[in-house]
Every structure is written in structure tokens, then in C-alpha cells.
Structure 1
């Protein structure tokens, strides 16, 4: 359970001004340590599911930004490009978005496969070497994956700019044929990809430079400064942003979030057979997928609800549109276009470095992102050290940068890094198998071309629930490691990350949900419920969820009050009243009422499971230790 996580240790090693990556190991053998097992049981499975879903959340979110927002949302509607029409009714703008999507799934995503495989393999080996150095077996590998923060920054600061610039470079004339327009779009997407890949390679070099200054910074700066990136990224990008998506579609996303609350914070284990349990992350994914494909976010095309949410994908054969990850037509198209095709990595290996001549204007941005990257790595290594595994700072920075460079050589413009979640994996009982297997799974998934179909088959909040857990736990560790007098400084560190998120313009309808009536009611209810999940007090959670049904229907909780007297109907003032399902489909009070009804049944079932002795009873503050014991 969350309160049992040991995120800190008191015997931290003394820091030096410079760390030599070649002498740090003091002659420790380079051989694979066979004493540390690859698989440790349910703990390894939980660690694997958490890391896999963590990477999946990053890939799903950044894919939505790169393909959906930048490709089709910005460049695909740009006036200067849209003015160049084609005979089928589409335009140069649409063609660029389509070709950018092809480049993304056939070059960038497969390129990531090599970076993830090699990085995860290295850190699994490094884990064994640390065990040899310290003569112990209770070591856990550092988690590794896509650098979410760095990728979001480079997508909008570099990739978007490169794509727009390339669009103008290859802009067809007014008399261009359809074939000429299509070829111009291919050239524009290819040009932008080369610039992005070359920039990513240089970013990896900048990340490696941190090896020469990182230890000095760690020795000189206060603890709060190291944990600022952890609490900032954890709170904003891993917890807050996914929570917005959850609040936006409660019928799809609330139950997966509650599963995460119960499993990771409350210590509930869902048994399949005897001691065999289903990993919490996998269960959350399944719950979201079932709800999404059952029509949880489907709306009638053309209604205010559909247009405000930006839904355009057809829901089966109906007249409704639905959210990304729940459209049969799009999932089938993605499968037919990308899965097991022979164009994977076509024209990608080493070719992307041809964009170096075009990245001069991006060097300052790349340097700053590189600094952000190695400062983040410092936080990760410090976090692992606090949890008991003191890994070499300089070596980790070099490996992170090298992983980014290797990905670029194979066509990827996504940077990679160790993740800020080592203590979580350690306390789940994972060692190094979770890292190794994660790398192998992603190597297969991303090289096969299946990821495009997976992206169109999972609602975004499916992985978002896991990210909320990771973000909140990392925030907790930051406060535990920081002296109490520096707490205000940690809170201050959130501001730049909130500003960065706001600058990217990723606001969504979840803000309307969580901010209703000043956010007071949402804050009280969700915090209250979270505490009950942590304490496994499912009877009170059932009662609270039942009460929230009526709060939602009468406009107290997360309701859009959209009147029908305007055409199209618009969002009205916040006011108390009865708000059931309306034709404009923008009102979400009834959706929350349905969601809280499901939550009521969900928690009531847990009460029954507790009374039957299948899952643990409520947390006892001073009572029986058996009630607090985690099942493994």
C-alpha cells in the first residue's frame, strides 16, 4: 500500500564535485550477474505493467500531439496550405498531414524500438553490476523510456516549426496537378522529419554533456532543487494532464482511476486463481477499453458536445462520432496501413541525419531541452539513491544521451531517459526482469507496425490512470526528501511547469469539469474518495459515490449548463437545476451521474469481497496488523 512505500533512506553516500564514470565501479566485473533473477513473481509483473503502461501513456499522448494536433489539427488546417486544393476535395494541407502520419508511424515509432530495447537492456545489466559491487541481491533496475517532457517541448518548438517551414518550401503553384501536390506533401514531410531527427541526435549529445557537470550541481544545490523537476513533471504532465482527460470522459475513465486508487494506493490485489493476480495496470487498461468501445464517449455528429470535444471519428456504423481509441474504422485503417508492412524503417536508417544543415536556429532550444533532460536524470538517480540503489550519475547521463542518439540513427525524433519512478518499482518487488522484458515487448510492438492500430484501439485515459499514480507518488517522495522549511520552494517549482503546459495550448474540456463552481466540489469529493480508497473503507466510498450521483444531476458537481435557445447551443452560466441528457450532448451532469452509479456498484462489490475475506479489510490505524498487510 502507498503508506508502506519506503521512498527514503538515511545512509546516502557522500557526493563529490566530479564523478568519473570509468572509475566509479572500482573494478566491478562486467559479467552478467546471474544471482539476481529475471523474474520475481507478482512484484515483477506489477513493475512490468507499470513501466509498460507508463511508456504506453507517453507514446499515446505524444502521438496524439504529433499526429492529431500538429499534423491534422494545425498544419492540416493551415490557410496557406488549405488554399491549394485537389480534385477529390482535399488540399495540400491535408496531404501534408497524411504524409506526416506515414513518416511518424513508419520511421519515428520503429526508431524508438531500438532506443528502448538497448536502454532497457543496459539498465537491467547495470542493476546486476550494482549488486556485484555492493554484494547484495535486493537491487532494482532504473526504469527507462520515452522522455515525455522533452518530447512535448521538441514537438511544438522544433517539429511543428520544421513541418510548417517545409510546407512553405515545397508549396505547389496554383496550376499544380494532384500528383505534384501529393509529391510536394511527401517532400515536406520528409524534410521536416530529417530536421527533427538531426535535432534529436544533437539533443542526445547535449544530454551526455551533463555527465561532466551533473555531480557538481548535485553537490552544490539544495535537495529541493533536484526534486523540482520530479515534482513539476510528476504533478503537471504525469498527474494533472491525464486527470483532465479523465474528468473529460468520466463514463470511460472514472472506474479505471478507482482501480488504480484501490490497487496502488489501497493495496488491493485482484486474484484470478489462488495467488495469481491480474496486474493493476492491465486491469485499468481493460476497464477503459471496454467502457470506450461500449460507447462511453460517443456523441451524435454535429452536436455541440461533439464539436466542443473535437470528435470526428465514426463510432461503428452509427451516426455518432467518438474519441480517439474507440473507432472501429480508424483502428482497421491503421492496421491495414501499418501493421506488418514492408515499409517499416524504409528510408530511415542513418538518413535522418541529413537534416543537420537546417537545425542552426534550433540549437538554443535543443541545449535548453538537453539541460532539462540531464537535470531530470539527476532527479531520477537521486530518487533511486534515496530508495537504496545508488547508481552512477555520470554513466546514467551518458546512457540516456546515447539512447537518444541511437534512436535518431534509426529514424526517431523522440528522446529517451531514465524515469522518475525507481522507488515504486523497488517497493513493488521488481528487480530487473521488468526492464528487460519491457524493452523486448516494445521492440516487437514498435517494429511490427502494430502500435498505430493500438493507438486507435485504446482511449487516452486508459494509460492516464497509471500516470496519475506515478505523478502523485513522485510528488510525495519529493516532499519526504526535502526539509520541511523548503516545502514552499517545492510548491513554487510547480509554477514554470504549469506555465509550460499552458503555453503548449493543450487545454481541453476536462478543465470545465474540474473547474466547475471554482473547483470546490470536485476537489472535496475526489479528495474524500481518494482517502477512502487508500484506507480501503469501501462502505463509506459506496455511500459517497451514491451521494455524488445526485450532486451531478442537480448541477453541484461538474455540470455543463448549455441552453438550447441559441444555434448552435452554447455553454451557459453555472447554476443549480436538474440536468439530464440533452440533445446538444454538451451537458455532462448525466454522464457523471452514470459514472458515479458505476462507482457505487464498484465499491459495493468491494464491500462484499471484504466481508468474504477475498480482499483486505479497511485500514486499521491502531488495530490489527493483518488488516494492513499487503497480499503479494
Structure 2
């Protein structure tokens, strides 16, 4: 079956701007955190600009070109011309976790940016290996997991970590961001054609950029200008990728110090596998059915390539495929994003682009993506499963709340650890601090399991709900969910028999594991009492 599937369509520009803004935010975050927290400034800035960003370029262009090619293959096989490529880029969650729990701690211990960078490479490589290995079993997991369980997690993340974040940004900088928002809402909610057929995303970004340049920074709150652009232009330079395999091998063979970071690497690798799996399911719900194994395998290979060429940060299949499909993007947006982001990283022009186009001008597109993801979780699941989707939102919302609270403690110079030690039932405006942390740890798994249990209860498949409860108990007992340790305002996992950090406040989730076992027992008993008995799946 053949189809006329174009390399690029006009609406790919809208998709490109949305994905580009998202990727640009990650790159600026890497520069800010590595410079300010991990010692990669001054002479040691070479680890950032000569290794990390070029390594990120390799992984980003590799993944974006593959998923664009994959979309062409799907279009050719199905005879459709409306196939949208899977979005792909740097994993925000892994970025933050690796900085705060791998790279920064190594730098604090050694005061060596090189040692911190090397450990980041190893963490990235480990995550990629887990992602690649997960591709071998992910299809089985996907076939046996209700759609509501996979999509509700994405909805929770979209509400807390995409839509809410960018909504706050829009109202923080209204003069630059609200006019682009109006254009985006008209274009994609009203679905009307704009003058001369121009893409809504292009008009939105152009208007926001013009406002930022015309009005002074003390009015808009957004800093752009010739001085900043000139500085960014002078700082550019060609930085080709450099193979970093020798650095990783050196660290592996030096000593066993790296083993302590498995408590971060393993859950983040599993987190990325499940997250990508959910995004593939989201794409199928939107109409584009991609092969699970090859999609996840390339995802893992992209992360390993990032580590092999100097980047400490995993790449992943992004949340938001239905949003980009709703924009009208096809495969061209992925190709264009990969090429542009790679060129920026290789030429040192990330800061230059940010000085010309403030990200506030394009965040309305990303906000719209988050809205569509949340809507899809309810629209693409059976009507009777809507309560299960709602149940799956709570852990992700708790995770967002925990992030906000910990950030507030840090900004105020306080300590969440000391607050909990003084009063284990301490509440922040009525919200229990300990409860938020318990739901935050491993929330992507908790969202999925609670939603799955709810689906099977709705369908009166009590034995299957009991089996999922046993999985939930096992995850809690092992520390993949609910267990945590906190030192100051640094929240970390606490596995099984692992010893907590010195001076940290630790909570093991054994009681929660027992609670899930009680779930299983009750569901099993009800299943026995039901007539006719349910067939165990």
C-alpha cells in the first residue's frame, strides 16, 4: 500500500516550535545547573560545551531522524498521510534527578568537575542499557495493562509538570506570553484558518518575540537585547562530538564507588521504560500504532549514544504525541527539530537563540500539548473507566506538590527534614508533608497500578485486581515506590535493605506493602464469593 506522505507540511512548523521550545528549555536547564551546581564554569566549562552539549546533539538528531523515518514507514504501510512521528528529546525528570543525586553529590565530594561528569556519563549509560533491555518485555506489559492505567499517568504529569508549569510562566510574563496564547487557542480550539494560511505557532512565536524586543525588560520581565545577543554571538564556536568510552571505562575499573548510584540509575531507567511505553500507547490512542519493541530499543540506543559521546542526560520518547498530531504536524517537525537542536549544540549557539527568541513567546504551544494529553486520557478510554483515570492522577499531582514544597523550603532557607523530625504529621496548608513524599516516590508506577486496580474492579475482575495489588506490594517492599529518605530538602529513593544516607530521615514502605497485601486478600475473597467465579488472567 502506498501513500503520498510528504517530507514536510506547513503545520510541521507549529509542531517544530512546540518541540523546539521544550528542547531549548532542557538545554538551558543543563547549562544553568551544571554551571551553578556542578562546577562546570570557567576552565571546566569545557565539559559542558565540548562534551555534554555535543553528546546531546548526537542522541537528539539520531532519535528524531529515526522516529521521522518510522512515521514514513507507518504511512507507507497503512496508506495514510496523517501519521505523526513520536516526539523525542532530553528527559526532564532524569535530567533533574541525575544532576541532584549523581553529578552534584560527586562534585560536592571531590570538587572535581571531571569526576562529576564521568559519573554522569555512567549513570546515563546505565539508564540506556535498562531502557534497551526493557524493550524486550515492554510489549507484553503493554498488552496486559489497561489503557486507562497507561494514559492516566501521562495526564497527571501533563497537569502538574507541563500545563501548570507553563500556565504559571504565562501569567508571570503576561505581556509577552498571553498574546501568543490567544493565537494558539484560536488556532487549535476554534480550528479556523489564519490570514494567508500562516501557521498559528509561527504567528504566536513571532508576536511574542516582537513584544519582548519592543517593550523594555523592566516592564515585560523578559530580558532580550543587543547586548545579550552580542555576548551570545561572541561565545559561539564549533564543538564536534568526542567519543567518551575511555572515560566511562576508566571510572568502571578504578573502584566500586559508582555502585552506590545504582539506587538512582535503576529506578530512573525503569521510570523511562514505563514512561516511553505510556507515550507509545498514547500515540496509538491518537491513531498512530507504532511497534513497541523497536521504538523502545531505539530510545535506549539514543541514551547510550548520548553517554558514549559525552552527555550525562538520557533522551526519551516525549509525552505529547496527540498534541502534536492535533497541531497537524507529521514527520517533518521531528526532522527539523533534530537538525536545528543538533546544530545549536555543536555550534554553541544555544544562548544566542535564547537571546533572540525568548522561550516565553512559545510556551503557549507546550501548554496546549499538556491540555490535549490530559483530555486524551478521558476521551480515549471506555467511558466507564473514567473514575480509574481520575484515581491515577493523584500520585502525579502529589509529586508536583512535593516538588513545589521542597522548592519553597529551599528558597526560604528551611529544611523539610527538620520539619518532619520535629513533627511527623506536619502539614503544609492542610496537606501532609510525609503523605506527599510517600506518594511522590515512584509515582509513575503507583499511578499505573492504582488505575489498573480500579479498572479491574470496575469490570468486576477481582482476581486480576488482586494480582495487580500483589505487584504494588512487591514494588513498595523493594522501595521502588513509596519508600524515601530525605536529607535537608534532597529527596531520594530507599531500596530494600539499603542503608540510608548518613544523617538522613528514612521511611521504609513496609506498612504500605502490607496495605497492598490486604487489598489483594480482600479482592481475592470477593472474587471467590462472586458467582460465577472469575477466570484468572
- Residue 403 (structure 1) shift: 0.3
Alpha-carbon deviation of 1:109? 1.4
Query: Residue 193 of structure 1: CA displacement?
Result: 1.3
Q: State the TM-score, normalized to the length of structure 2.
A: 0.68
Deviations 1:62-117 (A, max 9, x none): 444x24xxx33x56xxxxxxxxxxxxxxxxxxx75445544323321121111111
SS in 1 for 2:316: strand
Q: Matches of residues 154-553 of structure 1 in structure 2 within 5 Å?
A: 154-167=98-111, 188-271=112-195, 274-275=196-197, 277=198, 279-294=199-214, 297-298=217-218, 325-326=223-224, 328-337=226-235, 339-341=236-238, 344-345=239-240, 349-353=244-248, 354-356=250-252, 358-482=257-381, 483-502=385-404, 505=407
Deviates more, 1:219-228 or 1:391-400: 219-228
Q: SS at the partner of 1:388?
A: coil
Question: Residues of 1 paired with 2:147 and 2:158: CA distance?
Answer: 16
Q: Sort the Cα spacing of 1:63 and 1:241 in 2 relative to 1 into closer, same or farther, 3 A.
A: farther
Q: Is the Cα contact below 8 Å between 1:196 and 1:355 reproduced in 2?
A: no
More helix by share: 2
Could you tell me how far apart the structure 2 residues matched to 1:506 and 1:232 are? 21
Distance 1:63 1:506, change over 3 A: farther
Task: Indicate whether 1:55 and 2:29 are aligned.
Answer: no
TM-fit CA distance, 1:55: 2.2
Q: Of 141, 144, 152, which residue of structure 1 is paired with 2:85?
A: 141
Matched, 1:152 2:49: no
Partner SS state of residue 83, structure 2: coil
Look up the match of 1:623.
Answer: none
Give the superposition deviation at 1:129.
Answer: 2.2
Number of positions where the alignment pairs a residue of Structure 1 with one of Structure 2:
406
Deviations 1:256-308 (A, max 9, x none): 3333222333335443xx33x1x333333333333334455428xxxxxxxxx
Matched, 1:36 2:8: no
Deviation at 1:50, TM superposition (A): 2.7
Aligned to 1:182: none
C-alpha distance in structure 2 between counterparts of 1:507 and 1:48, whole Å: 37
CA contact (8 A) 1:255 1:287 kept: yes
Report how far residue 458 of structure 1 moved. 4.0
* Residues 539-618 of structure 1 aligned to structure 2 (within 5 Å): none
| Stretch moving more, 260-269 or 115-124 | 260-269
Match of 2:422 in 1: none
Q: CA deviation at 1:401?
A: 0.8
Q: 8 Å contact 1:38–1:432 — kept in the other structure?
A: yes
Q: CA deviation at 1:448?
A: 1.3
Deviation readout 1:418-450 (Å, 9 max, x if unpaired):
122222333433332222222222222221111
Asked whether the 8 Å contact 2:153–2:393 carries over to 1, the reply is no
3-state SS of 2:313 partner:
coil
Label 1:296 to 1:125 Cα distance change in 2 as closer, same or farther (>3 A): same
User: What's the counterpart of residue 179 of structure 1?
Assistant: none
Distance 1:242 1:296, change over 3 A: farther
SS of aligned partner of 1:505 = helix
Structure 1 pair 52–201 and aligned structure 2 pair: CA distance change class (3 A): same
For 2:223 and 2:4, locate their aligned partners in 1 and report how far apart those are by CA, in whole Å.
42
| Shift in CA distance, 471/138, structure 1 to aligned 2, threshold 3 Å | closer
Checking the alignment, whether the CA contact within 8 Å between 2:58 and 2:241 is kept in structure 1 is no
Q: Does the CA-based 8 Å contact 2:63-2:88 persist in structure 1?
A: yes
Residue 89 of structure 2 aligns to a residue whose secondary structure is strand
Change beyond 3 A, Cα 1:155–1:461? farther
Does the 8 Å contact 1:325/1:460 carry over to 2?
no
Distance 1:500 1:215, change over 3 A: farther
Is the contact made by 2:40 and 2:47 (CA closer than 8 Å) also made in structure 1? Answer: no
- CA 1:475 to 1:99, structure 2 compared with 1: closer, same or farther past 3 Å? farther
Shift of 1:394: 1.6
Are the aligned partners of 1:236 and 1:498 in contact in 2 as well (CA < 8 Å)? yes
> Is contact 1:403-1:416 (8 Å) kept?
yes
The 1-side partners of 2:222 and 2:133 are apart by 39
Please give the secondary structure, in 1, of the residue aligned with 2:330.
coil
Question: Displacement of 1:456 after TM fit?
Answer: 4.0
- In structure 2, distance between residues paired with 1:252 and 1:507: 30
Per-residue deviation, 1:328: 4.5
Alignment-derived partner of residue 47 in structure 2:
103
Mapped to 1, the partners of 2:260 and 2:216 lie a distance apart of 45
Secondary structure class of the residue paired with 1:417? strand
Contact 1:118–1:439 under 8 Å retained in 2: yes
Structure 1 residues 242 and 425: CA distance shift in structure 2, 3 A: closer
SS in 1 for 2:11: helix
